[in-house]
Structure 1
Amino acid sequence: MARYKTLADVSVSLGSGEATSRALVDAALSAISDPAGQGAKTFIRRNDARARAMADASDLMRSVGQVRSPLEGVAISVKDLFDLAGEVTTAGSIANRDAAPAAADAPVVQALARAGAVITGTTNMSEFAFSGLGLNPHYGTPLNAYDRVTGRIPGGSSSGAAVSVTDGMAVAAIGTDTGGSIRIPAALCGLTGFKPTARRVSRDAVLPLSTSLDSIGPIAASVACCAVIDGIISGETDRGIRAMPLAGLRLAVPQTVVLNDMDDHVAATFAASLSLLSKGGAQIIEIDVPEFAQLAAINSKGGLIAAEAWHWHRSLLESRGDTYDQRVRGRILRGRDISAADYLDVLQARTAWQKGVNDKLAGFDAVLMPTVPMIAPAAAELDVDDQVFFATNGLMLRNPTMINFLDGCALSVPCHGASSAPVGLMIAGGPMTDAKILSVGLAIEQALTVRTTEQ
């Protein structure tokens, strides 16, 4: 169904000898270098020499019959939060560009390299991952491939990750997701993104936003791609994810909060997708989840993100605060006023909230909702108008952050017609239901193929 090349497509080309890793990686690096393209705004750190060396090594391995994984010889980008040995991890900022270079690759990067992936570089992002829109005043904002004439945002914070895939600079990308930062750009750019249960993938040597909520996962062309990459970076490569039968699946559609404020295109696309799944035999069951309406109040003082971001940033803000994106700086500074008692209140409320939500979701195979309630807006107005920026950011983050607060897992899969604006369908579950959500996601993706490939 995917418009973009899947891991399977690339593996077939490499396995048949139709292509070499070096040729494919050179093409990806050329796309990054294209002065007419988005490469300069998509990548913050490039690793051309290392990438070519990794590609050559992969071709040599393949020539003697050694294929380490489905990622063998495949170009992968990683978000600019991950340590790469000998380089400074800037996190889309200029505030910490004088920091000491990393001593070693982050464990996720090491896992990718062991699997034979070729790391093309690190991708642009909302500064310090603190926005769902993807704007970056320091390095520029890569534009959404869907409508570059209008100049639409890619979504964030993993903005460059998504654009690296849509523009052929990588076959897949690794991002992070604290409140939707994988799923939002996947939805807005017509890709598939997977946010795993946070504890499943090592966050060591990854610059944090919120240690309670951060998670690491892939953005790629399909659910199968995401399942392969998730297995590699989590160390669970022997799971054997298979599509569940669509007929008989019990799919909950919450009516509380998450369907509010949808634009007409998202509302119509979501409704059409549910209808298609129902015709395929899935049971679509509307439910109330009153806890969803409570989350804004629980986080009214800034929540876990502001408190934990302040903890990490307080010294850097004191010395380099004037170099921050001031919209990011202001949100982090909210954490300064959160007391220890306030923080513990949120943790306590989270435990009760999670129990309430999990009780509502018991007996369902997955939860469905629009990933975000709108198509990608134009960047220009967001750049100049703080009120529009923060209102839009709040709407973008609203639905995805429910799953982070739940400590759950979720896919965003494309559900729009091929010629229309990208829309993401979120397929979510509770903690440690990752394998099941991927299996349900494969079934739903197959069912939606008719819609997503129609002309």
Structure 2
Amino acid sequence: MTSTIAGLSGAFASRQADPAEVLEACIQRIQDESAGAPGIIASPTFERARASAHASAERWRRGQPLSAVDGIPMVWKDVFDMSGQVTTCGSAVRKNANPATEDAALVRQLEAGGAVSVARTTLSEFAYSGLGINPFAGTPVNPWDPKTPRVVGGSSSGSAAAVIRGWVPCGMGSDTSGSLRVPAAFTGLVGFKPSHGRYVAGGMFPLAPSLDTAGPLVRDVRDASLLDAVLTGVPVPATALRDWTFVVPAGRALAANTDEVQAVFERVLGLLRGQGVKFVERAFGAFEETRDLFDQHGTLVAVEATQVHRELLQSEALALVDPRIAARMKLGAQLSAASAAEITGRRAPLLARSQADMAAGEVLLYPTVCMTAPEIGPLNEDVAWFAACNARVLQNTMLASYLDMPTLSLPAGLAVSGLPVGLSVSMAAGRDALLLAVAERLQEALQDKLRAD
């Protein structure tokens, strides 16, 4: 099966592939491989998908596709409502909740464009971790290390695992502090976190409502651009790398990169410099101040998740939650009113500063995650390491989330360990289409060079 949205759409148009046949190949692969790769599929929606795929096949035969995603198989993180199914959010607390009576708004919108919803996927419980470990719903294993089980990353773990294993070309997830970008970095995928509110959010279970965004995990930046155009009607503009200056943030905000991640990042910078790309290294003040704010007072996720889960925190059902996730919830509830006010009150001026600190022709470039995918075993054995590792994994990504900067993580190549490293590109809030355009050019500039390496 063609592994990209663009490739499949082209194959449908040229009659080299049929949506119904492609879907059956997807279903067969999921059924054949799920036993050996558990913890990915939360609930299949095969019959629903078959009806959509047959309708799509007929449209393609008439030469009347609904959009660029017509007939494209995709999976959905189990925070998106689908009619008739329970949205569990990866938690035993919700396994007996009432089924959804209607689809999430984003599901409706993409299916109206012909997308084929194959299954719902697992996640970190309540999307409240960047690691993707879940004792209730299952923990996907990263295929990049066949010897040592490692995390895929979270919280959109199942969606990333389904794409990297070739089951579908697109996994839809959500991102609050890095939940699309972390698994993209750990698996060598593209993960796109748009500006808040760029895509409709109705019917998506919240974690921190003012931060939550939906977005795709795909293999190619062009696929993220195609999805964005379908969802917004805004095409990606033409651009060239020579038109941009890439700002590499200096200072302490992004200073925790491991040696192997930093080596990959430096190699990427060298490859791009060799192609005439312009760089400047300087402290990005909004990142520095946001890091200080988090260190002194806590995070906006902690503030808002406490409100979302207030009833759960006061109920006996909290005993059903993974103790490591419950501990995060309790810690957030302990934030003082003064700290909560500081975290929420500083956001608008810092967002304004993030826009003022970047010239019109500038874009941020930095490693998505400061480390490669950690091993699952030690995370399960050591509660303290789980908490510390989760914080490290989200350290870089949560800055852009707080500042509402659209950010895309694309593959930067492999570390000496053979594990993927991600490269993040960020712009000021609302500049999503430009960001996608720049990221497309970056991927083109890097792909051949990285393959040669």
The residue that corresponds to 1:381 in the other structure is 378
Name the structure 2 match of 1:156.
Answer: 154
Secondary structure in structure 1 of the residue aligned to 2:142 = coil
Matched, 1:304 2:304: no
Equivalences for residues 201-220 of structure 1 within 5 A: 201-220=199-218
Contact map agreement 1:242 1:442 (CA 8 A) in 2: no
Given the alignment of the two structures, is residue 245 of structure 1 paired with residue 243 of structure 2, yes or no?
Answer: no
Which of residues 276, 300, 307 is equivalent to 1:281?
A: 276
SS at the partner of 2:251? coil
Q: Which amino acid aligns with 1:11?
A: S
The equivalent of 1:198 in structure 2 is 196
Match of 1:322 in 2: 319
Amino acid at match of 2:157: S
- The secondary structure found in structure 2 opposite 1:31 is helix
253-262 or 166-175: which moved more?
253-262
Determine whether 1:362 maps to 2:363: no
Q: 1:349 aligns with which of 341, 346, 350?
A: 346
For 2:415 and 2:290, locate their aligned partners in 1 and report how far apart those are by CA, in whole Å. Answer: 35
Tell me whether 323-332 or 36-45 shows the greater mean CA deviation. Answer: 36-45
Correspondence list, 1:81-100, <5 A = 81-100=79-98
Show structure 1 runs of 5+ residues with no match.
none
Q: Aligned equivalents of 2:136 and 2:105: distance in 1?
A: 28
Report what 1:331 is aligned to: 328
| CA RMSD of superposed structures (Å) | 2.0
> What is the identity percentage for the equivalent residue pairs of Structure 1 and Structure 2?
34
Separation in structure 2 between the aligned mates of residue 69 and residue 290 of structure 1, nearest angstrom: 41
| Matching residue of 1:48 | 46
Shift in Å, 1:442: 1.0
1 CA distance for matches of 2:420 and 2:200? Answer: 31
- In the alignment, the residues of structure 1 paired with residue 274 and residue 243 of structure 2 have an alpha-carbon distance, to the nearest angstrom, of 11
Aligned residues: 450
Deviation at 1:186, TM superposition (A): 0.5
Deviation at 1:39, TM superposition (A): 5.1
What is the TM-score normalised by the length of structure 1? 0.94
Alpha carbons of structure 1 residues 116 and 212: separation in structure 2 relative to 1, 3 Å: same
Partner of 1:106: 104
Q: What's the CA shift for 1:256?
A: 2.0
2:288 to 293, 296, 301: 293
Find the counterpart in structure 2 of residue 27 from structure 1: 25
Distance 1:218 1:83 in 2: 16
| Pair 1:416-2:404 in alignment | no
- State how far apart, in whole Å, the 2-side matches of 1:52 and 1:4 are: 19
8 Å CA contact retained: 2:407, 2:425? yes
2:261/2:415 contact within 8 Å kept = no
Which of the numbers 186, 190, 206 marks the counterpart of 1:188? 186
Q: Which residue of 1 aligns with 2:230?
A: 232
Contact 2:264 2:415 in 1 (8 A): no
Contact 1:289 1:360 in 2 (8 A): yes
Following superposition, the deviation at residue 407 of structure 1 comes to 1.0
For structure 2, the residue ranges without an aligned partner over 5 or more in a row are none
In 2: Cα distance, 1:323 partner to 1:55 partner: 38
Match of 1:5 among 3, 6, 28: 3
Q: CA deviation at 1:395?
A: 1.3
Deviation at 1:4, TM superposition (A): 7.5
Greater Cα shift, 125-134 or 6-15: 6-15
* Separation in structure 1 between the aligned mates of residue 125 and residue 34 of structure 2, nearest angstrom: 24
Give, in whole Å, the separation in 2 of the partners of 1:38 and 1:203. Answer: 34
SS across alignment from 2:346: helix
Q: Distance in 2 between matches of 1:247 and 1:71?
A: 31
Q: Which moved more, 1:307-316 or 1:336-345?
A: 336-345
- In structure 1, what is the Cα distance between the partners aligned to 2:229 and 2:441? 18
Letter in 1 for 2:398: T
1:111 maps to a residue whose letter is Q
Describe the shift of the 1:280–1:243 C-alpha distance in structure 2 as closer, same or farther (beyond 3 A): farther
